[in-house]
Structures are given as structure tokens and as C-alpha cells.
Structure 1
Amino acid sequence: MLPLKNPKIQKWSLRIAGAFICLTVLFWGAYHLFVPGFVQKAAAQYGEKLGYEIAYQDIRLSPLRLQIEIDGLHLAKEGGSKLVEFKRLLINLKWTKLVLGEIGFDEIILDEPKLLLEKRVNKKQGAIPNGWNWQEFIHALQKNLPPKDPNQAQKPLKISVDEFLVSGATLDLVDEASKLKEALKPFSIKLLDVANYDQNGLVSGVRGQYDFNLGSLQLLIPGVNKTLAFNHVSLAGGLDNPSSNILGVQLDLKLDEGKILSHWDLNTASKALEGKVKIENIATAPMIAFLPANKELVGNSGLLNAELVVKLTHEADIYSGNAQIANLAILEKGEKTPLVTWDSADIRQFEYKISNKAGSQSTSLVMDEVIVEHPALCFEINAQGLSNFRRLFSKPKSDDSPNTDGVAVTQDQPASQTKSLFDLDIRSVNLRSGEVFFTDLAMKPNFKVDVKKFNATFLGVSNAPGRFASIAMDGVVANSGSMRAKGQASFDDPRRNHDILMSFKNLPLTTFNPAVMTYAGYQITGGNLNLNLNYRAKNGQLNGSNQIIIKNVQLGDEVPDFQGKKLPLGLAIALLEDSDDTIDVTIRIAGNVDSPQFSASGLVWQAITNVLTNVATAPFRALAFILGMGGDEGVNAVLGEAVFLPEDQERLEKFGEYLVKRPNSTLEIIGTYDPVKDKQELARVKADSAILKDAGFKLQEGEPVPLPSLSDPRVQSGLKAAYAQYIGRIKLGQRLLMLPDGEARNEQLHSELIAGIEISDAELKTLAKNRAQNAYAMMLKENPSLKDRIAVGEVKPVEAGKEGVPLDVELRIK
């Protein structure tokens, strides 16, 4: 071994070291002098080949450290906007990875990158939208790649990044077709230990850890023109490959004070995606504005918690689990009183499924149980008579309908004749200790009533045709009354198919003063109300029964300057109230709910109005309706006679029984006659009575005089006798000689006999008086105690109807 102190060795060592230093300096100088320019020129040429501009301000290279640092890099389409630009890009490669034939990055740092995601409209081709700008760039890259040799085996390239950092980033999203223009800024991204191969070195996907700090988020959602906003948004998690065909992703999203923790597994072979999602304290307020309402809704509280399982496959998408929304409050924008609130709503064991089979899509929602604790609902009818829920959620009549007052114009939708593509099945729904605040601003003064301690249960809720859900409800109305309901309804179309029985007990009448003052013109100072309502609808045909029981009603003063149709409440109370100070009336309605003009409440109110009006103008008609006897024409006498048919006789007797129990009313019966029709029929009655008596027939008292059969020889003999009595024997002899014997002669003699009988006004008035006396006797027949409460008044002429001559009465308060 040569000693190191040997002069020759030292000399050659110095020469070699000097040469190495010189070569290093030359290499370093050449690298910094020529390589940056070469790289810049190559980038510009490649960009020109792609049709893009690739440029930067400065580049710094550290070959020994394998570090590249670029300032002011940007990529832009020629003549267009910049797709991306960076303030600074720093890349550090790893020697150890390159030696093994891999591409390994120690770190990649992006300072203040600006990314543009843009879709422009081609105005030269009729405003047809182009593709996204990055799609065009990727297409340009693929177009300029060298062709692959199909016979050459392609060994997958391993790529790894120890740390990927993005700070101060900006994303601009522009879509001219949907007029979308949004900016996400500033946000940061952190990725750790990212690689495209698993722990065994097999290239099969991507793994690693990441952290996105997006800062505040305000994103305009296209189509609804509403903004989703959060003050602080961050995303963290990791990537893994548990098996060769599975790519796993952990997504931990923070939205203000809430979290969405999820893990997703993608099967790269079947393309099926499965995930487990846990939602913790996500604020519902930012999402309330997206409810499909005609006026913007605002949420000022509410937290969502849920545990979900998601399965997305080619055949179906399934979302299942449990969810809870706590402390929810929804308001109309600009209003102070919440529209809906609740303490908590638990949705247990639900499954929402979207099926994609045979080229058609169908959806289904199955829930085991829904429990809502202390819900509160504000139901308001405005001055125009439109409810707040119909105003908010009903479908507009047309897209271009003028709407100057901010209220949606609604239309009635016809019943669906086709099976719904959405299937609903809920085992039970429970509302516990709720409240309903009802206000009707159309009434003056405004009508307000509250329902508290409201509980409701719905069992077997389904929209399948033919299936009915059981319903049970109860609550406290106006602080002292009670409400109960039970029955069933088909949720396929509950308006057209249901059977519901509702009862209200001990409701204070003063609560309904605004309605009575608005529609009847009176105040109520006392009394209680019970209601028994039974509504049945089958395939749209509704039959309803409304039993109204009023106890101890106290009528107050008339409303001053009342503009409506004042109803005779005083008379009605006297007629309807029994000896126990109770009014018991049943109002029945019927109709087709599919009719555009149908309104159940309108029919009930119209029926009540008719009864109250008829109390003063046609009491018999009102009583017939109340007692359920029909007969819209009231009580009618037979034309020309003081006789009532059996149906009217029964009404008169029942009216007497009814008045016995109404001690506060008196009745005056007014006999009536029709000056024209009664005159004609009375002559006929006189003629036929004479004919039948002369023929030997005995007439039944109280029965209508029948038409004689002119083919009967006895009747023919009676006809001749009556003709001789009223017309004369000479005239009779002339007719018998001049007219041939037969049916025609008998009919002519009959007609001449009727025409020859003169009826005076006195006879008509006597007829009317006899009618009143007969009605009086029938009403007292089983109830002689009414003798002092029923009187016979003066007669008057009327016009006969199709049922006969209507008997008139006047009702008075005792």
C-alpha cells in the first residue's frame, strides 16, 4: 500500500479533486444556464402542440436533491381562460424510489393554486353547450400520446407521495348553460402516504391519508338558485386496499360543529359501492331553504343525527338505518312565529330503495316507526281564505301565470288513474304531546283556537291501492274541550277513500264568536258545543254526517253595521232548543270530492245556512231537514182539496212531537191557496165528488177525491145526473141527442161539467182555512198540550209547486 503522504499520490489526488470540482461546476452551470431554458421551450412547444399555453415565471432545479421549484406556472387554452395557475409549485423526488424503478415523491407543495372548472356555450351553433374545459384538455393529451404496442406487456408503474400539501387554493365553477357561477376559496388540502399499490406492492388502487380544510363554504346549487352555506368545512380520512378488488375510502367531513363520518368500499370488479355513514350533530338550518316551497323557508335550529348503511349497485341503490332530527324550527322568511317545530323526530329502521330494472326506475320507502315528540304546527288562513300550507306547497297553476301578491295560484289535481312509481310503507307513526295553533284571518274579528296535548297514531301507512291505515287522535281544544278521532284512510288517496269518526266535547261557544259574528251577524255570550262528525268516502263519493249539539246557548247583541246576510239565530234557537236547553241537529252532506267546486266545509255551512234561513221563511222545510224526513218543499196540500197526503200527515204529527220539546217557541199556521190552479182543481173536485156520489160510491173522509172511470156504467149515470144538476137538463138532452154514444161523449160531458162550475174567492179562502184547520188537528192529534202554542192565522194566496200547495207558518219566540 502506498503511503498517503507520498508526494505523487497527493499530487494526483489534488488533480482528480480539482477535475471533479471543475466538472461539477461546469455541470451545475450548464444545468442552471441551459436546462431551465430547455424545459421552458419544451413546455411551450408541447403546449402549442396540444393547443394550450404552458408557461411559468421562474424555475429552480436541484438535481442532487431531485427538487423542482416553479413560480407562476399557468395552463391556458389558446385564446381562452386559464385552467390552472400556481403561485409556487415545489416537487421533491426520492432517490430510493427511483433506484427501485418507482416514481416516489417526498413532498409536493402547491401555494395559492387557482383552478377553473368551466363549461361554455357555443353561440355559433345555436347556444349548444360545450364540454367542460378539463375534459377538452384531457382529450387533447390522449390524442397526442404515442400509440401503444398491443404485443408489448405493460408493467404497471408504482407511484407514491409521502406528503401532498395545498394552501390558499381557489376553485371557480362556471356553467353558462345553467347560469352557474360559484367560487370556493380559500381552502387547503393535505394528503399523506398516498400510493397506487397496496401493502404487498400490488398496483390495484389508491391508498393514503388526506385532510382538506375548505374554510367557509357558500355554494349556489344549480336549478334551485339557492345557496348552501357553512362557516367551516374540512374533510379528512384515508385510502386503503383491504383486498385486490376492493378500494376503501374513509371520509370524515366536518360541517361547522357537526360531523359526517363514513367509510366506503368500492368493488372495482362489480362497480358496487357500499358505505357506512354516521352523522353527528349536523345543523339542519342550511338545508331548510331547499324545501320545495313557493316562499323561502328558514331554519333557525335543528340537529341531525343518523347511522346509515348505503349500498349502490347496478340493480338498485339502497339507503337504510336510523335517523333523528332534534329541536327543529322552520319559519317562513320574514315571519316571527315558527311554521313547524318539534323537540325530536325519530325515524327507526328505514330503507329507501331506488330500483333500476327493465329500463324503468321505481322508488320505495319502508319505515318501522316514526316518533315525533312535542310537535307544534301553525295553521293559518289568510284574509283571502287560503291556508298557509296550501299557499306554500301547492303546485302553481302555470309557470307563466302572473303573480303579483307573492301567493301561488293553485289548481285542483285530478285523482291519479295510474299506479305510483313510489311505494310507501310505514308500520307506525306517533305524534306525542303536540300543539296546533289555528288562525283564520278571513274572519273579522280573527278566529283563533289552539289544540294542545295532541296525540296521534297512524298504523299501517301505505300508498298501495286498497290498503287502509288505522288512525287514532286525541287532544285538548280551547283549554277546556276535548277532541277524539278514530277510523281509517287509504294513503294512496286519503281524500277519496276514508272512514273517519271525530268527536269534539265541551267546546266553549265563545271561542267561535268570530265565525258567528262574521257569518251570522250576532255575538255568543255563553254555551258549550259538542260535535260528532262521521265522513265516509269511497272512490271519491263522500257521505258525511255532522251532529251538532249545543247546550245552554246565550245569544248576545247583533253586530253593528253587519254587511252580510243576517241569520235568524233567535228564532232558530227557539225552534231548535228543547226543554233541557239543548239543540241537537244532524246535518248530512254528500258529493264527489273530485269535483273542482267541491268543499266539505262549504257544503256543511251552506246546509246550516239553509236551515237557519228556512226557520224564518219556511219552518216546516227546516224542521223536515232537521228531523231527516226529506221533503224540500215542506208540507203541501193536494190541489183543490183540504187534504194532505200520508207523507205530509206524518210530517205534521212529527212536527207536533218536536214542538212539545221546544217550549220557547209558538207557531201560527197560515192556510194557503193558489188562485189559478186551486180554482181549476176545486171545480174538478166538486164535479167528480158529485159524479161519484150519484154513482153510488162512498168517498173516504180525508182522502183525495179520485178521478172517476168514465167507462163504468154507474159513473156514466152519475155523470149525467151531475151534469143535469150543474149545467141543466135541457143542455144535457141536447148533448145526448147531438153526440153519438161513446167515450168521446162522456169525456166532453165531463169537461163541460168542470168548466161550468163557478168557484168564488170565498170558496178558495174557505179551502185554505180548512187546510190550516186540518194541519192544526194533525199536530195536536197526539200532543193536545200544544193547543195554546199553535194558532190558525189568516189565509193568503201562494203559488203551487210540483208537490202541491205549500202550507205556510210563522214561528215566534214565546
Structure 2
Amino acid sequence: MGILKKLLYTFVSLIFLYILFGFFVLPLILKDQITKNLDENLNAKATIEKIEFNPLTFDLKVHNFKLVSLENQELIKAKELEIRLGILKSIDQKHFRIEYILLDELFVNLIQSKDGNINLAQLLKESNQKEEPKVEDNTSKELAFLVAKLDLKNTNFNFTSNINQEPYILNLKDINYTIYDLGTYKNFLSSNNLSFTINKTTDVSIRGAFNINPFKAYGKVEISDLKVKDILDFDKSFFNFSVNDEANINLILNYNVDASKEFLLNLNSELLEINSLDLIQSNNKIANFKKLDIKKFDFDLKEQNINFDEININNLNANMVMDKNGINFANLINSKKEEQNSEIVTNTGISKPWKINIKNINLDANYNFDNISLNSKIDVKSIVLNANDLKIVDSSVYLNKADLKTPNITYIDKQNNLDMKSNNTNLSLNNLSVVNGDLKIENINLIKDNFDFKEKKLNIDINTKKLDSSFKNLEIAKNISFESNDLKLNSLNFKDNKNKLKIDSSNLNVLISNFLIDEKNSINLKNIVLKNLKLHFEDLTNKLSVDTKNININSKDLLITKDSNITLGNLKLAKPTINLLDNKNNLKVDAKNLSLDVNKFKFNKGNISFNSIKLVEPNLGILNTQTNLKIDTKNINLNLKKLVSKENFFRIEKTDLVNPYISITLPKNENVTNNEDKKEEKVVSQTTENNKDINSNENKFRLNLGPVNIKNLTLDFEDKNLPIPFKTTVSKLNGEISEIKNKEQSVSQLEIKGEVDQYGVAKITGLVNPNSLKILTDVNMKFQNIAMKSFTPYTAKFVGRTIKDGKLELDLNYNISDSNLKAKNSIIIKKLELGEKVESPDAISLPLDLAITLLEDSSNVIDINLPVSGNVDDPQFSIGSIVWKAFVNLITKAITSPFSLIGSLFNFSEDEIKSVNFELKESEVTPIQKETLDKIALILSKKEEIAIKFAPSFNEKEEKEKFANQRAQNIKDYLIKEKSINPKQIIILNEIKKSSQNIDLNIEQIK
């Protein structure tokens, strides 16, 4: 028993000594050794106020620990460190267990010097002992451990950087961090809760759980009022801008990390916003927005997906400036002067691409671009952008839909005196993709209310209203193409005030299909349709105006190469209305229902060709506003085949003119007649000069016009420049003109047939040299059964009488060879009846009734041949005046020498019938007198409208007066009694001639 007591006393003593040592001695040893070792190994001085240790529970407390730099600057301090060990559980469960760790009021002061060194990184003293390489002992097993609770309370962290001129200070205050079940024992899941404040304004909270081995973690991060300036001010040398103090970030972020097999990271946000951000550069606010709000953000490292759901940017203002230093937004990040060489590690394996998905983007902004270098400025107000389903996969971009609206766009270029303004612009697009740099957009629609353009140097103004342009399937790659573009424009107004030009258009609608700009910069357009265009053009300088409406153009297969060669498959112009007024040239043109069809047009190096040109049924009116000369056409079908125009060559293979109606009206003009000869002489002279020009250019320019076919042409001609207006119609005119060439020996044939008025016909045939009519002209013109009544206006003007009835036939042949004219004018007039007299200052004073009676044969037919000859090079030569003069001479001769004319009708000579010859002192009618009187009787019997009149005659020196009366009476008795002549046709005058025994006869018309 004594031994047991000794052992008991010994054990109790040891226990007592252990307790005394643990409570009182060990804390002193620990305090001394800890401070000593810290002082020996650190470039700082450590102090501990007190250490408490409970040997029974193995609880350790350290009070008021401080680490002060050699410069007497606090580096680290803590009010209390408490560690509670779980010895019994550690032994029982075979793991190292700490029940509780408390670190209260920890303070860390981190300072970065100007050279970039961190003060705490320099605490450890340099050691002269060489470190022996550590030999890993793989035989030992990893010790499981567990910290039941770790509590970090009231911790403060100060960071000061002196790299910049102004120190950067970051304070993390009131850090409270609690962790439960931290360790590797039984793979416990550790929960943690961290909260702290950044610079008195930002509250940060992190709640979650994690597992150490294998490492897994999940939780939530909440950041409230994080100042953007606090982040950017860390390194001001890196950023060439600053932000305002109020800008902040609010964030609620869920995270999930799993490193059990591969490193997986998933992030998603409940709140992500940046508020009231101002971007400031050189004391100027270059950009700012009220709020950037991302409703939802997802990040998946494994799938390499980044998803944004609804990004809202409110009140964004961007002020871009370009000067000699470049664009302000291009130098927001300062480039390093000394670039470090970095190794570029390439991965030869196939990597999964990153995918960024943005479901909705909403932006309202203002944009301003001030180009100081070019003295120009762009201002865009109230931009509203809505975009849906934006995807970015590596370098590829996909966008489902975007809408951009802005009420005002202004561009001012003071250097070039340009002003541009745009109102209410709406731009929308669908299905955009950018793959390998190639851009594709399925639909683009641009709507604009107004656009104004002013160019002050040239004094040009352009204004548009209600622009609507829609593209389909736009592609920009090696080629630029789109399937269609539908452009609608309510109005376009163009003013060139310098040149006094004005263009106003409305209802413009252009549809372009299958547009392509290929690799050779050639432009291809499958189809262009222009609908319902209304256009007004005005040239005040040249006093010209053009008004059009209902312009409809359809063109197909247009190709424009980079060297400006053009091909066009087909172009159709459908029934526009065009009104042209040329006051300078006194011309007015009105066109309606004009249809133009152009087929296979080519323009190559200045050469032009058409396969065919068709002009279909236009109504065209041409008016000379000075002379009132009017030409109207309708129903014209003009077809030109294979037209070619080169530098020295022009050719049309064939021309067809079908069903044209042409109306020509000559207005009443007092000066026309007086100047007629002068005008005709001028035309002949000008024609001569033109022929000379053609001949002189014969070797330089070749002209080849194929046959011209005319079918069913109708020509109305009206001459109001007469006492009685003249109007006639030539209808069903058909014919052909053979090839026309400008070779010297070229000959063209012509043959034209038609109807004149109701019952007349006309035919023109012949040969001409198209280069010069004076070299060769052999033309025959025949007119048959022409109603003479139609010519009343001309007879009224030139002969002072109307025409009551009669028919006209003309057979005109004009032959010109080497400038010498030989013309035959065969005129046949049947049953001509003159009407009443008409007062006309141009009428000739001749007894026409007698002339007609004398000219008519027994069938009441006047057959006149008027040959004309002359030299067309004579400046005084005029075909019209020569023919008219010959006709007047013929009438004059009929009146003044009637026996010559009437004798030719009966094959008598004038001497045979102009007098009855008697011997002196003879009055009886002998066979000698009978021969003359029988011929006179034949004439009178055939022409009952005329009479012969004569006066008794005798030779006063040789005869008595009684012979005169006997001779006259015997002539009368013979003709009446022997030849049965109507007594009315025998007129004996009361006067008696005394000069000759022969009786001279005269002719008079019976009234």
C-alpha cells in the first residue's frame, strides 16, 4: 500500500506540476520563444501582451499580438487568437480535430512602395543557409483533420499603393468570416459566411459551403455599392481615363465549383448592375450612362457558355473626338513603352469554342462625334436599340433581331460646307451572322421620315421624305449581294441653286432583285423595277421644264464591270405621261401612254449596241410655241433591230414603223408667205452644206441604216395659214425604204403607197443618194383621184377662188444628177368647177374660168405638163417657186394666147384659127374661109362653154365699110346655118376695125 500511495502521490504531484506548468510556465515560454523567433526571422518587431493555455482542455489564447516594422509602423495586429483542441475526439476518431479557432480584431496593413514591392513580402530575413532538397516520403499517409468552427471577427485590412503620384488606399473593414467543419475528416461539407465593408460604402457578403478534398464549393456573393473608382484607381498609369465618385456596381452572384474530376465552374447572377457611370478624359466627360442592368448572367466553364438575359443600358451618352492625336476612345488604355517578350503557347489540339449568348439588349443613347481634324461633327440624339438573341461563338456572331430608332441625326462638315439632317430613323434587321468575317443578314428595313442635305460651296439642297428601304438576304464577303431591295420614297427634292436646276419627285418605288458585286468589282442586277414615279425637272438657265408621272420601268440582267462596261438584257418603260416645255427653243412636247422596250443593250469601251428597240403606241404632241406649229402622233409602233454605234460607225439593221398616226398643223402666221422663198432657199443651202459635211466626213464616219418598212401610216395635215383652213388625210400608207449608207455611190430605193382623203391614192417610188440628193435623185410621185375640193384653202389664197368640185391626178418625176434638175410635172384635172371668190392679198388676178375652159378637153379634163429644170447649187434655186411660176405662166398664156392653147388641144396651129382671111373687096365665104371656119366650128361644137367674138373689119384705104359688116354677117351665118353652131357662141362687136380686110377672132367664156 505504501507503494501505491507513493505512486498516487507521485501521479497527483505530476498532475499538479503539469497543471502549474501548463497554466503558468508554458505561456511564458511560448510568449518568449514566439517573439524571439519572429524577431530573428522577420524584419520587424513582434509583441504579445499575454498567452493563456489550459493544459486540461488544451485551449490556447494569445492576447494583443502586434507586428511592427523597423520604422515603427504597425503591420499586423490582433486582439485575440483562441484555439480549442478536441483531444478526446481526435484520439477516439483518429484524426486531428480543432473544435474552435477565433481571431478577433485582426488588422493587416499592406503597403506597396513606388518600386512595386509589398511590405509584407519583405518581412522575412534572407537566410545564409542553403536549403537541402526535400525528400518526399510517399509512405506516410495523409492525416485527416477537422476544424469544427473558425471565426474571424472584426477584421480590418488596409492596402496602400504608392506607385502613382497620388496614393491608392483600399480599406476592407468589419470583416467577419465564420467557417464550420473545415477539414478532410469524413469529407465533411464546410459551410462559410463572410461579410465585410470596402471603404465605408461597399458591403460584401459571401455565403456558401465547400469541400476540401476533392474540392467543391457553392454559394452566393452579394456586393452592394461597389465604387468603380475604387477599382480603377489602383493603377492610374494603365487607364487614360477616370470615372466619377458616384459610379457603383451592385452584384448578386451564385457560384458552383467542382474539382473532383475536372475543374468545373458555374456562375449565375441574380443582380448585376452599374449605375451613374461617367467616363472622364482630360477633364471632359466623353461617355456616361445612368444604368447598365444585366438581369441574368450565366457562366459555364465546362460548356464554355456565357449567357446574358436582358441587358439594359439607360441614358448612354458618347462624345467621340478625333484630332491630331487620333480618336479619344482609341487610347483609353495606355500602351506600355517597354513591351515584354511573351511566349505564345499554341494548342495543336482541337479546343471547344467559347459561346456568348445575349437574349435581349435594350439601349437608349445619344452619340456625338467631333472630328476636329476635318472640322466636322456628327450628332445623333435619342438612340433606342433593342436586340434579341445575340450569340458569339469564337469569332462568329449571330443575331436574331435588332431594332434601332433615333429621331434626329445631324452631320455638319464646315471644311466642305456640308449640312445633313435626318429625322425619325428606324432600322431593323433579322438573322444577322458573321462567320469567318463574312456578313449575312436575312432582312434589313430602314425607315426615315426626312433627310436634308445642303452643300454650300455648290449651293445644292437635297430633301427626302418618308424613305422606306427593305433588303433581303444581304451578304458581304468576297462578294456583296442581296436577294432584293424594295425602296419607297414619298418625295425627293433636289435644288442646284448655282446652276438654277430643280428636281422634284414623288411616289418613288424601286425594287431591285438579285444584286451582286463580285470579286472583280462587277455589279450584277437581275431585275430593277421602278413604279409610279412622278418627276418635275426645271432648268431656269435654259428655260426648260419637264413633268412626268406614272413612270414605270422594268429592267433585267444589268451588268456593270469595273471598267464601266455595261450590258442590259431588257428594259421596259410602260405608259408614262411626260410634259416638256423648252421656252428657249419655243418647244412644247406632251407624251402619253409611251411604251418602250429595249432588248440586249451593250456599252463596251464607248461602243453601244442594241438587239432591238421597240416604241409602242405613244401619244405624242409637239408644239412650237412661237409659230404654233403643231405635230400630234399616236399608235406608233416603231421597231429598230440591231442598232450599233461605234466611234466611226452607226448601223441599224432594220426599222419597222407600224400603224402610226401623225397630225401636222400649220398655224396662221402672216409672215410665212412673205418669207417662204427665203426659208426654202435657206433649207436648200443648209442641205447643201450638210451634204458637203457628210461627204467630207465620209472616210471618217460610216452610216448604215437598214431597210425602213412603213405599214398603215395615217397622216393628217392642216394648214391654218390660209383664208380657208386646209386639212387632208393620207391613210393606209405602206412602203419600204432600202438601205441607207453614207458611201459616195450609195443608192437607196423607196416605194410608198397610200390613200389620200376618202377616195384618193398616192404612190412614191424612186432612187436617191442618201448622202446628197443633188448627186442622185430619181423620184416619181403619183397621186390619183384626189378631190380638188380639198385644195380650196390654197386656191382661195393664191387664185382667190374656192373649188366646188373636180378630181386631181399628179405624176411628178424629179431627176437630179450632178446638181442638175430635170423635173416633169404631169397634172390632170377632171371636171374642175370653181366656186365663189375669196379675198386674198396673195391671189393672182386672172380670168380663171376662161383659162379652165380653154385648158379642158372635150371630156372636161385638163392635162398639163410642166417641165422644170435648173441647178440646185444656185442659191436662188427653189423648186416650189419654179413650179408655181410655170403654172402661173401657163394660165397667163391661156388667157393671152387662147388660140395657141386651144389649137394644141385640137392639133391646130394658132395661125390656122386665130383669124379669117379675106381678099380685098371680097366678103363671101369661099373654101378658103371655110377651112378656117370649119376648124372654129369643131372647137365651138366641142367647147360649148366658149364663144368667139370678133369685130367687123375692112381696109379703109382700099375698101368701103360695107365689106366689113358683110364679112362679119357671112361668118356668123355660115357657122349657124351651115355648121349648126349655137348663136350664143357667135358674138359680133359693135365696133368696126379699119386696119385690115382680115377679121381677127377672140375667145370668150359664155356667162
TM-score range, shorter chain: 0.5 to 0.7
Task: Choose from 511, 523, 528 the match for 1:235.
Answer: 511
| Equivalent position amino acid for 1:254 in 2 | L
Task: Choose from 634, 654, 661 the match for 1:368.
Answer: 654
Q: 1:611 Cα shift?
A: 2.0
State the partner residue of 1:214: 489
Q: 1:468 Cα shift?
A: 3.0
Change (3 A) 1:90 1:75: farther
User: What SS does the aligned partner of 1:415 have?
Assistant: helix
State the partner residue of 2:286: 38
State the partner residue of 1:274: 567
Partner deviation per Cα, 1:548-589 (whole Å, 9 max, x = no partner)? 111222234434687743222123123322223221111122
How far apart, CA to CA, are the structure 2 residues paired with 1:384 and 1:325? 34
Task: Choose from 221, 246, 260 the match for 2:554.
Answer: 260
Partner deviation per Cα, 1:60-86 (whole Å, 9 max, x = no partner)? xx9997776555869899999x99876
Q: 1:608 Cα shift?
A: 1.0
Change (3 A) 1:313 1:436: closer
Q: 1:447 Cα shift?
A: 1.7
Task: Indicate the structure (1 or 2) with the bigger Cα radius of gyration.
Answer: 2
Task: Choose from 883, 891, 902 the match for 1:604.
Answer: 883
Task: Choose from 574, 596, 611 the match for 1:320.
Answer: 611
Change (3 A) 1:246 1:450: closer
How far apart, CA to CA, are the structure 2 residues paired with 1:365 and 1:324? 18
Q: 1:518 Cα shift?
A: 1.8
State the partner residue of 1:455: 734
How far apart, CA to CA, are the structure 2 residues paired with 1:246 and 1:47? 37
Task: List runs of 5+ in structure 2 lacking aligned partners.
Answer: 1-183, 194-205, 210-217, 229-247, 251-272, 289-316, 328-356, 421-435, 533-549, 907-913, 915-931, 959-978
Indicate conservation of the 8 Å contact 2:527/2:557, yes or no: yes
Indicate conservation of the 8 Å contact 1:577/1:662, yes or no: no
User: Is 1:518 equivalent to 2:769 in the alignment?
Assistant: no
Q: 1:348 Cα shift?
A: 4.8
User: What SS does the aligned partner of 1:46 have?
Assistant: strand
Q: 1:444 Cα shift?
A: 0.8
* Aligned-CA RMSD value: 5.9
TM value normalised by structure 2: 0.48
User: Is 1:350 equivalent to 2:642 in the alignment?
Assistant: yes
Q: Map residues 621-770 of structure 1 onto 2, 5 A cutoff.
A: 663=943
Q: 1:532 Cα shift?
A: 0.8
Task: Choose from 353, 360, 384 the match for 2:669.
Answer: 384
User: Is 1:504 equivalent to 2:771 in the alignment?
Assistant: no
Q: 1:443 Cα shift?
A: 1.4
Task: Choose from 86, 100, 111 the match for 2:395.
Answer: 100
State the partner residue of 2:466: 186
Q: Map residues 247-646 of structure 1 onto 2, 5 A cutoff.
A: 247-256=523-532, 258-268=552-562, 272-279=565-572, 282-286=574-578, 294-304=586-596, 306-314=597-605, 316-330=607-621, 332=623, 339-353=631-645, 355=646, 361-362=647-648, 364-373=650-659, 375-384=660-669, 412=686, 414-416=688-690, 417-419=692-694, 424-493=703-772, 497-538=776-817, 540-559=819-838, 564-593=843-872, 598-617=877-896
Partner deviation per Cα, 1:754-801 (whole Å, 9 max, x = no partner)? xxxxxxx999xxxxxxxxxxxxxxxxxxxx999x9999996999xxxx
User: What SS does the aligned partner of 1:450 have?
Assistant: strand
Q: Which has the higher contact order (CA 8 A, sep 6+)?
A: 1
How far apart, CA to CA, are the structure 2 residues paired with 1:621 and 1:224? 71
Partner deviation per Cα, 1:273-327 (whole Å, 9 max, x = no partner)? 4332342x522423766999732211232333x2522333335343333424235
Indicate conservation of the 8 Å contact 1:103/1:160, yes or no: no
How far apart, CA to CA, are the structure 1 residues paired with 2:454 and 2:938? 80
User: What SS does the aligned partner of 2:635 have?
Assistant: strand
Q: 1:100 Cα shift?
A: 1.6
How far apart, CA to CA, are the structure 1 residues paired with 2:524 and 2:891? 75
How far apart, CA to CA, are the structure 2 residues paired with 1:387 and 1:113? 63
Task: List runs of 5+ in structure 1 lacking aligned partners.
Answer: 52-61, 121-129, 136-155, 198-202, 356-360, 398-408, 628-634, 636-651, 671-760, 764-783, 798-807
User: What SS does the aligned partner of 2:882 have?
Assistant: helix
How far apart, CA to CA, are the structure 1 residues paired with 2:500 and 2:940? 68
User: Is 1:16 equivalent to 2:221 in the alignment?
Assistant: yes
Partner deviation per Cα, 1:639-665 (whole Å, 9 max, x = no partner)? xxxxxxxxxxxxx9xx99998998466
Indicate conservation of the 8 Å contact 1:319/1:352, yes or no: yes
| Equivalent position amino acid for 2:395 in 1 | L
Indicate conservation of the 8 Å contact 1:219/1:227, yes or no: yes
Change (3 A) 1:131 1:97: same
How far apart, CA to CA, are the structure 1 residues paired with 2:464 and 2:657? 39
| Equivalent position amino acid for 1:168 in 2 | K
User: What SS does the aligned partner of 2:880 have?
Assistant: helix
How far apart, CA to CA, are the structure 1 residues paired with 2:559 and 2:802? 71
Change (3 A) 1:333 1:811: closer
Indicate conservation of the 8 Å contact 1:102/1:157, yes or no: no
How far apart, CA to CA, are the structure 2 residues paired with 1:184 and 1:658? 91
How far apart, CA to CA, are the structure 2 residues paired with 1:669 and 1:226? 82
TM value normalised by structure 1: 0.58
Share of identical aligned residues, percent?
16
How far apart, CA to CA, are the structure 1 residues paired with 2:796 and 2:707? 42
How far apart, CA to CA, are the structure 2 residues paired with 1:103 and 1:493? 72
Change (3 A) 1:423 1:624: farther
Indicate conservation of the 8 Å contact 1:507/1:529, yes or no: yes
How far apart, CA to CA, are the structure 2 residues paired with 1:602 and 1:438? 21
Indicate conservation of the 8 Å contact 1:348/1:369, yes or no: yes
How far apart, CA to CA, are the structure 2 residues paired with 1:228 and 1:546? 56
Change (3 A) 1:71 1:293: farther
Change (3 A) 1:190 1:475: same
How far apart, CA to CA, are the structure 1 residues paired with 2:480 and 2:495? 33
Indicate conservation of the 8 Å contact 1:103/1:159, yes or no: no
Q: 1:500 Cα shift?
A: 1.6
Change (3 A) 1:14 1:254: same
Partner deviation per Cα, 1:122-176 (whole Å, 9 max, x = no partner)? xxxxxxxx989599xxxxxxxxxxxxxxxxxxxx975565554332354557788
- Count residues with an aligned counterpart: 598
More strand by share: 2
Indicate conservation of the 8 Å contact 2:319/2:370, yes or no: no
Partner deviation per Cα, 1:515-563 (whole Å, 9 max, x = no partner)? 2222112233222211111122345543322111112222344346877
More helix by share: 1
State the partner residue of 2:85: none
User: What SS does the aligned partner of 1:514 have?
Assistant: helix
Q: Map residues 109-188 of structure 1 onto 2, 5 A cutoff.
A: 109=404, 163-168=443-448, 170=450, 183-188=463-468
